[in-house]
Structure 1
Amino acid sequence: MQTLAELFEHTLQDVQYAENAIVKALPKVIKAVQAAPLKRAIESHLEETKGQIATLKKVFATIDKKPEGVKCDAIEGLLKEADGLIEEAKGVALDAGLLAAAQAVEHYEISRYGALREWAKALGNDDAHVLLTEILDQEKAANAKLTTLAVTLVNK
């Protein structure tokens, strides 16, 4: 990669892979979570993530590219961490750990979508900018919801 446009495309492929990996991983997390409000929040985010994948297809269309993912080592590591918690943690520690793992994923997504949105703007791709802002806002809202659940329920 030598240009901002190439970096934009590569990072878009990265988040495409990440979102699909998240969709595959969340059912296992949902099954492991014990607190009903946390389970509902993760179920809701699973559906939202499916919608984000559809939105990403529209972003790829703005650069006339097919929506393809490239392996994302960062998301692989974060999801592996969640798997480890499912295997090792019990009770309150399980829910608290999985909530924290979910927030780590959200923080990763927020950083990626924030960068992509600004690169779209710099590249003059107004349509992608709007679509990526939509996803970024959803990720920030999901993180805020998880923070609220941590403070009011899971960590008590």
Structure 2
Amino acid sequence: MINISSHEEFAAYLGKEIGISSWYQITQEQINKFADATLDHQWIHTDPEKAATDSPFKTTIAHGYLTLSLVPYLWQQIAKISNLKMEINYGIESLKFGQAVTVNSEVRLKVGLKSILNLRGTTKVVIDIVMEIKDQPKPAFAGDVVFLYHFVS
């Protein structure tokens, strides 16, 4: 894990890979809880028996937004951003889902710094993210996520 406590320390990673998280397993219980939270109970996510026979994956799959929601958690395994007044998840500039994540798959996040701006004391970073799936050639998704960091002066 790297430690970043200022705009200047962040800027040193411009155009470079920042790091890779550890592997994280997505379970059926987590998929079911996400379905409850989002009211998305489509059978391909929540019905293992039907998925075994009717799904092209022959098992349930994680919601795409479930995998996306893991970004902040996995990002915190890669970088400790400290000396902050405030941190804001600002947006997603681009994102493409590449492959479904089947139940019990392990995923990890690979992050690079695409751009960094100083907006009158607030650091705006665009990080290039790829969610890899263990033993799969294609990622779950890839894209650009934007965070705002207001470091203590």
TM-score, normalised by the number of residues in structure 2: 0.28
Higher-strand-fraction structure: 2
TM-score, normalised by the number of residues in structure 1: 0.28
